[in-house]
Amino acid sequence: MAKVLIVDDDISLQTTLTTHLTLEGFTIVNANNGKRGLQLAYRERPDLLLLDVFMPDQDGFTTLKQLRGDDWGRNVHVILYTNVDLNDAILTQVMEFKPAFCLLKSDNQVEEVVEKVRELLL
Protein backbone atom coordinates (compact mmCIF):
# COMPACT_ATOMS: atom_id res chain seq x y z
CA MET A 1 0.00 0.00 0.00
CA ALA A 2 1.03 3.59 -0.49
CA LYS A 3 3.07 5.49 2.10
CA VAL A 4 2.00 8.90 3.45
CA LEU A 5 4.22 11.29 5.39
CA ILE A 6 2.25 13.59 7.70
CA VAL A 7 4.23 16.71 8.64
CA ASP A 8 2.32 18.68 11.28
CA ASP A 9 3.16 20.04 14.73
CA ASP A 10 -0.40 19.48 15.98
CA ILE A 11 0.05 16.05 17.57
CA SER A 12 -3.67 15.43 18.10
CA LEU A 13 -4.42 16.14 14.45
CA GLN A 14 -1.45 14.04 13.40
CA THR A 15 -2.77 11.15 15.52
CA THR A 16 -6.29 11.49 14.10
CA LEU A 17 -5.03 11.55 10.51
CA THR A 18 -2.72 8.60 11.20
CA THR A 19 -5.60 6.57 12.59
CA HIS A 20 -7.94 7.30 9.68
CA LEU A 21 -5.31 6.74 6.98
CA THR A 22 -4.07 3.54 8.60
CA LEU A 23 -7.63 2.20 8.61
CA GLU A 24 -7.68 2.89 4.86
CA GLY A 25 -4.58 0.72 4.47
CA PHE A 26 -1.93 3.41 4.07
CA THR A 27 1.49 3.19 5.72
CA ILE A 28 2.09 6.34 7.77
CA VAL A 29 5.26 8.18 8.76
CA ASN A 30 5.05 11.27 11.00
CA ALA A 31 7.15 14.38 11.58
CA ASN A 32 6.37 17.38 13.77
CA ASN A 33 8.36 20.03 11.88
CA GLY A 34 9.52 20.81 8.37
CA LYS A 35 13.19 19.93 8.87
CA ARG A 36 12.38 16.51 10.21
CA GLY A 37 9.72 16.07 7.54
CA LEU A 38 12.22 16.78 4.78
CA GLN A 39 14.72 14.32 6.28
CA LEU A 40 12.06 11.62 6.48
CA ALA A 41 10.81 12.38 2.98
CA TYR A 42 14.26 11.80 1.49
CA ARG A 43 14.80 8.66 3.57
CA GLU A 44 11.33 7.07 3.37
CA ARG A 45 10.32 8.23 -0.14
CA PRO A 46 6.59 8.43 0.62
CA ASP A 47 4.03 8.52 -2.15
CA LEU A 48 2.43 11.63 -0.66
CA LEU A 49 3.19 14.33 1.90
CA LEU A 50 0.43 15.90 3.94
CA LEU A 51 2.15 19.14 4.87
CA ASP A 52 1.17 21.81 7.39
CA VAL A 53 2.36 25.35 6.67
CA PHE A 54 3.16 26.93 10.05
CA MET A 55 5.46 24.74 12.14
CA PRO A 56 8.52 25.21 14.34
CA ASP A 57 12.07 24.88 12.98
CA GLN A 58 11.00 25.08 9.33
CA ASP A 59 7.67 26.01 7.80
CA GLY A 60 5.84 24.03 5.16
CA PHE A 61 6.51 26.56 2.40
CA THR A 62 10.27 26.22 2.86
CA THR A 63 9.95 22.46 3.09
CA LEU A 64 7.95 22.31 -0.14
CA LYS A 65 10.40 24.57 -1.95
CA GLN A 66 13.35 22.40 -0.88
CA LEU A 67 11.48 19.23 -1.76
CA ARG A 68 10.73 20.46 -5.26
CA GLY A 69 14.43 21.20 -5.78
CA ASP A 70 15.23 17.48 -5.52
CA ASP A 71 14.92 15.07 -8.47
CA TRP A 72 12.69 12.68 -6.52
CA GLY A 73 10.82 15.42 -4.64
CA ARG A 74 9.93 17.29 -7.81
CA ASN A 75 7.18 14.80 -8.58
CA VAL A 76 5.93 13.52 -5.23
CA HIS A 77 2.33 14.35 -4.37
CA VAL A 78 1.90 17.07 -1.74
CA ILE A 79 -1.26 18.24 -0.04
CA LEU A 80 -0.89 21.48 1.90
CA TYR A 81 -3.21 21.25 4.89
CA THR A 82 -3.26 24.57 6.65
CA ASN A 83 -5.08 27.34 8.43
CA VAL A 84 -3.76 29.93 5.95
CA ASP A 85 -6.49 31.61 3.91
CA LEU A 86 -6.29 30.30 0.35
CA ASN A 87 -6.48 33.89 -0.92
CA ASP A 88 -3.40 34.88 1.05
CA ALA A 89 -0.56 36.31 -1.06
CA ILE A 90 1.95 33.90 0.51
CA LEU A 91 -0.05 30.88 -0.57
CA THR A 92 -0.33 32.30 -4.07
CA GLN A 93 3.48 32.42 -4.26
CA VAL A 94 3.86 28.83 -3.13
CA MET A 95 1.58 27.56 -5.91
CA GLU A 96 4.59 27.69 -8.25
CA PHE A 97 5.83 24.63 -6.33
CA LYS A 98 2.72 22.72 -7.40
CA PRO A 99 1.08 21.14 -4.41
CA ALA A 100 -1.63 18.75 -5.58
CA PHE A 101 -4.19 20.35 -3.27
CA CYS A 102 -4.38 23.12 -0.72
CA LEU A 103 -6.92 22.35 1.97
CA LEU A 104 -8.02 24.61 4.80
CA LYS A 105 -8.16 22.81 8.14
CA SER A 106 -11.21 24.83 9.15
CA ASP A 107 -13.13 23.89 5.99
CA ASN A 108 -12.20 20.22 5.59
CA GLN A 109 -13.01 17.36 7.93
CA VAL A 110 -10.51 14.54 8.36
CA GLU A 111 -12.67 12.32 6.15
CA GLU A 112 -12.33 14.83 3.30
CA VAL A 113 -8.55 14.84 3.68
CA VAL A 114 -8.54 11.04 3.56
CA GLU A 115 -10.64 11.18 0.39
CA LYS A 116 -8.12 13.53 -1.28
CA VAL A 117 -5.30 11.17 -0.33
CA ARG A 118 -7.23 8.24 -1.79
CA GLU A 119 -7.99 10.27 -4.92
CA LEU A 120 -4.28 10.88 -5.51
CA LEU A 121 -2.93 7.47 -4.59
CA LEU A 122 -5.53 4.88 -5.55
What per-residue confidence (pLDDT) applies to 67?
95
pLDDT class for 90, splitting at 50, 70, 90?
A: low
Which residues lie across from 80 on neighbouring strands? Answer: 51, 102
Report the predicted TM-score, pTM, of the whole model to 2 decimal places: 0.91
Q: How far is the CA of 61 from the CAs of 5, 81, 84, 104, in angstroms? A: 16, 11, 11, 15
| Residues 113, 100: Cα–Cα separation, whole Å | 12
CA 6 from centre of chain: 6
Whichever domain contains 93, its CATH number is: 3.40.50.2300
| Residues 101, 98: Cα–Cα separation, whole Å | 8
Range of the domain at 68: 3-121
**Count of domains for the chain:** 1
Stretch 25-40: mean pLDDT, rounded? 97
Stretch 70-97: mean pLDDT, rounded? 79
